[in-house]
């Protein structure tokens, strides 16, 4: 038998796309049911960037991979609030050039730059986006100092944080979706069903009317709705649509920011395991940007595993070590394919030759920043990497680097259901309605036509607010 729910609008997923969508619709008086596969975990209930957090709030404990040469490891939040609960909170608007590229390349209607930036203003105020009031962490300060010593452009990236204790940076509280848009949606009457996965939508001649779900105990649940808005993220939105029989361009254009990492050891304690650096180096942007990563001791061990036999002794000095990354804009593309009988889709990604070269250049330049910042030893993340102690070792790094031997990863996934009025390149219309359907919408990172070249959450949220408002207007 199982449980049954009725609602006006079903929203699948409660992350950066789903939560603002739920708030806008519920506040407009629509009867909204949000279904989220992961659990509700209050901010502060687990230590940020810890292995426990990966266990509870990440999909597959953070271990998922897009196959390719090399394969790319990717992580996704899987909890109420999605990626916003676990991410670094670094806020960047898309550039005007990016917005223009999207508008022109995908024929996106009603997408004026000024309107979009006004939505970004709204997101910034709703999430209290601001810079750190007090001192930066030592690892962030090192990155800043290294860039300054080389004369390379860098800045502090603001975050969605409040600081209840004034300039005590450690008191910062992340303004994720469980603290902002989800409580707003619930206050306006939205229902939120966590620990429940949407397996399939029943679609008849382009019209969806029912969803089949599985609850935490594995029991069946059904939901009948008038409209469905899929916000399950760039991997699981296309997978759900494909499981529901919708195909076309869906899942084909996966875009990511591929990233390579290194660990840097300084002569003094720099490790703050529950925070990440807020500085980024933008000298080579948008092609390349450098920043700091989570540096929990377990993650440092992971960063050393590529050349464990030469680097393993360093792990005992973990308080002196922090992890940094070089992220690139990629010309490659990937694909998400739901496979019958499998729970997770098959994800593939193809880096181009240029992408592989830029990854190598990026790692060498990031190593240069670390040396300029006073690092005593740098441990790059690729098989048979040398330990870099000086500029001479940098040449060895460049000689030995091979992208296929590198641990490439990403946390920025998008573009699997691109929006726009050009059906040659888009899979949903300019406001996210999936082509070939009259009531199946997407409203998350899948809609971004390509990777924005900056941290994407601001773009995802602004697009979600825009489309949710259009949905409400159309309903009226």
Ligand X SMILES: Cc1cc2nc3c(=O)[nH]c(=O)nc-3n(C[C@H](O)[C@H](O)[C@H](O)COP(=O)(O)OP(=O)(O)OC[C@H]3O[C@@H](n4cnc5c(N)ncnc54)[C@H](O)[C@@H]3O)c2cc1C
Which residues make up the interface to ligand X (CB under 6 A)? 12-18, 35-38, 75-79, 82-84, 86-90, 197-198, 231-234, 236, 240, 411-412, 444-445, 455-458, 460
CA distance 81 to 302: 27
- Minimum Å gap between C-beta 467 and ligand X is 12
Q: Which of 284, 257, 274 is nearest to 445 (CA)?
A: 257
Annotated catalytic residue, options 279, 412, 431, 441: 412
- For helices 457-475 and 113-126, the axis angle rounded to 10 degrees is 110
In terms of Cβ atoms closer than 10 Å to its own Cβ (0-12, 13-18, 19+), residue 50 is: middle
Q: Measured from the CB atom, is 200 or 247 closer to ligand X?
A: 200
The two three-digit tokens of residue 161, written as one number = 């944080």
Q: Tokens 């040659």 appear where?
A: 424
By beta-carbon proximity to ligand X, the closer residue of 17 and 418 is 17
Counting beta carbons within 10 angstroms of the beta carbon of residue 467, is it exposed (0 to 12), middle (13 to 18) or buried (19 or more)? buried
Closer of 18 and 68 to ligand X (Cβ): 18
Using the minimum distance from each CB to ligand X, give the nearer residue, 233 or 332: 233
Distance CA 126, CA 181 (A): 8
Least Å from the CB of residue 86 to ligand X: 5
258 or 386: CB nearest ligand X: 258
Q: Check residue 94 and report its DSSP letter.
A: P
Q: Which is nearer to ligand X, 257 or 333 (CB)?
A: 257
Counting beta carbons within 10 angstroms of the beta carbon of residue 443, is it exposed (0 to 12), middle (13 to 18) or buried (19 or more)? buried
- Residue 397 makes CB contacts below 8 A (sequence gap 6+) with 363, 364, 367, 380, 385, 386, 388
Evaluated on CA atoms 18, 23, 27, 32, the torsion sign reads positive
Question: Residue 37 CB, nearest distance to ligand X (Å)?
Answer: 4
Instruction: Find where tokens 């303004």 sit.
Output: 175
Q: In this structure, what DSSP letter does residue 248 have?
A: T
CB of 83 or CB of 360, closer to ligand X: 83
The closest residue (CB) to ligand X is: 15
Beta carbon nearer to ligand X, 18 or 386: 18
Give the number of other Cβ atoms within 10 Å of residue 258's Cβ: 29
Q: Given the structure tokens 């590529």, which residue do they identify?
A: 306
Q: Does the N-terminal peptide bond of residue 70 adopt cis geometry, omega within 30 degrees of 0?
A: yes
User: Which of 34, 15, 41, 419 lies closest to 191, judged by CA?
Assistant: 34
Taking Cα atoms as reference points, which of 300, 230, 290, 236 lies closest to residue 263? 300
Nearest approach in angstroms of CB 394 to ligand X is 28
Please report how close the Cβ of residue 448 comes to ligand X at its closest, in angstroms.
9
The least distance separating ligand X from the CB of residue 16, rounded to whole angstroms, comes to: 3
- Of 365, 225, 350, which Cα lies nearest the Cα of 289? 365
- In the complex, the smallest distance separating the C-beta of residue 12 from ligand X, rounded to whole angstroms, is 5
What are the CA-CA distances from residue 402 to residues 359, 360, 378 (Å)?
9, 7, 17
Structure tokens at 418: 């691109």
User: CA-to-CA distance for 87 and 41, rounded, in angstroms?
Assistant: 14
**Residue 264 Cα distances to 323, 325, 357, 386, angstroms:** 6, 11, 22, 13
140 in Cβ contact with 292 (< 8 Å): yes
Tell me the HSE value of 230 on the side-chain side, using a 13 A CA sphere: 34
412 catalytically annotated = yes
Nearest-approach distance from CB 58 to ligand X, in angstroms: 7
Q: What is the closest distance, in whole angstroms, from the C-beta atom of residue 474 to ligand X in the complex? A: 21
Distance CA 169, CA 295 (A): 18
Residue whose CB is less far from ligand X, 77 or 432: 77
Residues marked active site are found at 412
């Amino acid at each position: 038998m199982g449980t049954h729910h009725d609602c006006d609008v079903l929203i699948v997923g409660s992350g950066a796309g789903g939560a603002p969508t739920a708030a806008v619709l519920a506040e407009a008086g629509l009867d909204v049911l949000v279904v989220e596969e992961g659990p509700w975990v209050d901010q502060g209930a687990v230590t940020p960037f810890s292995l426990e957090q990966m266990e509870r709030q990440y999909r597959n404990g953070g271990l998922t991979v897009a196959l390719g040469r090399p394969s790319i490891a990717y992580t996704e939040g899987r909890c109420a609030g999605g990626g916003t609960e676990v991410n670094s909170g670094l806020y960047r608007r898309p550039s005007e050039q990016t917005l223009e590229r999207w508008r022109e390349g995908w024929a996106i209607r009603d997408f004026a730059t000024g309107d979009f930036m006004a939505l970004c203003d709204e997101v910034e105020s709703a999430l209290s986006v601001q810079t750190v009031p007090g001192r930066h962490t030592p690892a962030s300060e090192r990155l800043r100092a290294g860039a300054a010593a080389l004369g390379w452009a860098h800045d502090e990236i603001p975050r969605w944080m409040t600081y209840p204790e004034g300039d005590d940076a450690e008191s910062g509280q992340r303004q994720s979706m469980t603290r902002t848009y989800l409580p707003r949606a619930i206050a306006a009457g939205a229902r939120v069903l966590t620990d429940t996965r949407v397996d399939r939508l029943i679609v008849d001649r382009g019209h969806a009317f029912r969803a089949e779900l599985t609850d935490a105990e594995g029991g069946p649940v059904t939901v009948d709705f008038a409209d469905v808005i899929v916000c399950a993220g760039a991997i699981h939105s296309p997978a759900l649509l494909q499981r529901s029989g919708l195909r076309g361009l869906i899942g084909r254009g996966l875009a990511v920011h591929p990233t390579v990492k290194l660990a840097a050891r300084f002569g003094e304690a720099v490790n703050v395991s529950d925070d990440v650096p807020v500085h980024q180096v933008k000298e080579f942007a948008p092609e390349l940007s450098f920043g700091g990563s989570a540096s929990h001791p377990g993650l440092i061990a992971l960063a050393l595993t590529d050349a464990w036999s030469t680097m393993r002794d360093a792990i005992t000095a973990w308080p002196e070590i922090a992890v940094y990354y070089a992220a690139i804009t990629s010309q490659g593309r990937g694909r998400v394919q739901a496979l019958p009988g499998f729970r997770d889709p098959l994800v593939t990604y193809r880096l181009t030759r240029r992408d592989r070269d830029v990854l190598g250049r990026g790692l060498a330049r990031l190593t240069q920043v670390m040396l300029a910042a006073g690092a005593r030893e740098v441990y790059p993340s690729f098989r048979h990497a040398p330990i870099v102690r000086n500029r001479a070792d940098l040449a060895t790094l460049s000689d030995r680097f091979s992208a296929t031997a590198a641990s490439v990863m990403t946390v920025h996934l998008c573009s699997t259901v691109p929006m726009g009025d050009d059906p040659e390149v888009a899979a949903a219309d300019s406001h996210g309605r999936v082509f070939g359907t009259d009531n199946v919408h997407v409203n998350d990172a899948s809609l971004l036509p390509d990777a924005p070249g900056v941290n994407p959450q601001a773009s995802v949220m602004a697009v979600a607010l825009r489309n949710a408002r259009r949905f409400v207007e159309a309903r009226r």
